[in-house]
Structure 1
Amino acid sequence: MTELLYQTDSYLREFEAVVTSVDVAARTVTLNRTAFYPGGGGQPCDTGDLEVGGRRYAVVRVERGNLHVLDGDTMPEAGAAAIGCLDWERRFKLMRTHTAMHILCGVVWRDYGASVTGGNMELLEGRMDFEFERLQKDFVQEIEDKINVEVRAARDVRVRILPRGEAFQIPDLIRTKINLLPEGILEVRTVEIVGLDLQADGGTHVNNTRAVGRIRITDYKSKGGINKRIYVRIEDDDQP
């Protein structure tokens, strides 16, 4: 079992580990502990470097099952000590983006009662689908103004890992379809934007909404019926 360091510390940039298995053909290694996020929930995976025996390997992709895909002419050996180093610029942009998406979800649910039906993100941009019957320019601008109020409110972002039974008693988590989790999952990781949003979530986030920057809604589209899509871009905020 791999210790998933990113679940409790999204700000960890470097870590020590041991290579537990190597697949030369697939160019993958597994580690006993890792800070590399494998992707999921719409968030892309981390990249970075893995140093083993004085040699540095580029981690070009991370896949489910703790599979770190390496670039290079050789592969490390199982049992070797390793130091992992994230591409921090990429990771932090994804953290900002992911938290921005939760802010958007929280505001749309709190103020308009619309549930999210899907979403995806890349570095500093993303899209979310909501159960809106109609979406117009003035309404979209109102949403943008409100989400940036929440950014400037400097709300703390907290991560907790709860027993499944306890998590299933929390109304906000039930609303986000926590009941669809497979029965084999005995613990639920939650991400809370204090006073705004609470979701079951496995991704990485900033620790305060102020770190997100400015959120701009760049476009919106109808995807049929009551499904409306909102596109966002994350920018640096020059305001004090």
Structure 2
Amino acid sequence: MTTLLYLEDPYLHEFEASVTSIDPTTHAILLDRSTFYPGGGGQPADHGWLNYAGASYPVIRLRKAPEGLWHHLPPEAPLPTPGTMIQGKLDWERRYALMRTHTALHILCGVVFRDYGALVTGGDMEPLQGRMDFEFESLTKDLVAVIEESVNREVQAAHPVRTAILPREEAFQIPDLIRTKINLLPPEITHVRTVEIVGLDLQADGGTHVRNTAEVGLIRVVDYKSKGKINKRLYIALEPLPSR
């Protein structure tokens, strides 16, 4: 299995690893460890490069499988033999933008659930922008402004963001751990990773986040739409920050 380094340290954007297997058919390699996020839960997969044999090759796709995380390479990239040591490097500016965006969506979710009891019915994100759907019967311009103000108040409160991995039975004793309308966690998942915005939000989540809500910066609710009788969509956007 590939050790998924992003679960413990999402700020790690360079790493060394050993090639454990290759797949010539799909032109992919399996590594013993990786900080690449393969995508899921609305968060897109990371972009980045693998360095070996004196050259740098882009990772064009990531695929999570029972045996680990496959890193797909361009057809022109030579496949290293098992045992080869490689260096991996993320597109850090993009990863950090996604971390900020993901935490921003959790802040939005926490505020809406706390203040209005609305469950999430869907969501998606790209770097510095995202959308989230909620079980609202009605949504007005004035209410959206109130939500935006409340969300940014939580950003400024500088809440720590913490992760934990809990046995499934223990995790599901936490009230309101699943904020989506449908529980998407398969029954074969024996341990559940949680992300907590201390004092605001606690959810099951497998993605990457910043350490503190203050890192998110100003959140703007840029649009809202009705997607059904009790399904309303909020769109958010963040400002870019200087490269880290």
Q: What's the TM-score once normalised by structure 2's chain length?
A: 0.93
Instruction: Indicate which of 194, 197, 200 corresponds to 2:198.
Output: 194
The 3 A distance-change label for structure 1 pair 44 and 237 is closer
Cα contact 1:53–1:80 (8 A) shared by 2: no
Cα contact 1:94–1:124 (8 A) shared by 2: yes
Q: Deviations over 1:152-195 (max 9, x none)?
A: 11000001011111101111315557965222211110000000
Give the stretch that moved more between structures: 58-67 or 9-18: 58-67
Aligned to 2:223: 219
Instruction: Indicate which of 69, 74, 79 corresponds to 2:72.
Output: 69
The 3 A distance-change label for structure 1 pair 236 and 50 is closer
Cα RMSD over matched residues? 1.7
Give the stretch that moved more between structures: 74-83 or 85-94: 74-83
- Which has the larger helix fraction? 1
**Which ranges of structure 2 fall in alignment gaps of 5 or more residues?**
none
Q: Deviations over 1:102-157 (max 9, x none)?
A: 00000000011111110000010011000000111011011011100111110000
Q: Distance in 2 between matches of 1:182 and 1:108?
A: 26
Cα contact 2:120–2:179 (8 A) shared by 1: no
Give the stretch that moved more between structures: 88-97 or 176-185: 176-185
Matched, 1:232 2:244: no
Aligned to 1:32: 32
Cα contact 1:38–1:46 (8 A) shared by 2: yes
**Which ranges of structure 1 fall in alignment gaps of 5 or more residues?**
none
How many pairs does the alignment contain?
A: 238
Cα contact 2:121–2:181 (8 A) shared by 1: no
SS at match of 2:177: helix
Matched residue type, 2:165: I
Matched residue type, 1:151: V
Q: Deviations over 1:50-76 (max 9, x none)?
A: 112332211122222212121344222
The 3 A distance-change label for structure 1 pair 178 and 131 is closer
Cα contact 1:168–1:178 (8 A) shared by 2: no
Q: Distance in 1 between matches of 2:241 and 2:26?
A: 42
Aligned to 1:52: 52
Structure 1 position 27, deviation (Å): 2.0
The runs of at least 4 consecutive aligned structure 1 residues that moved more than 6 Å come to none
Give the stretch that moved more between structures: 41-50 or 228-237: 228-237
Matched residue type, 1:53: A
Give the stretch that moved more between structures: 22-31 or 91-100: 22-31
Q: Distance in 2 between matches of 1:129 and 1:169?
A: 25
Aligned to 1:127: 131
Aligned to 1:143: 147
Structure 1 position 237, deviation (Å): 7.6
Q: Deviations over 1:191-226 (max 9, x none)?
A: 000000001000000000010111111110000110
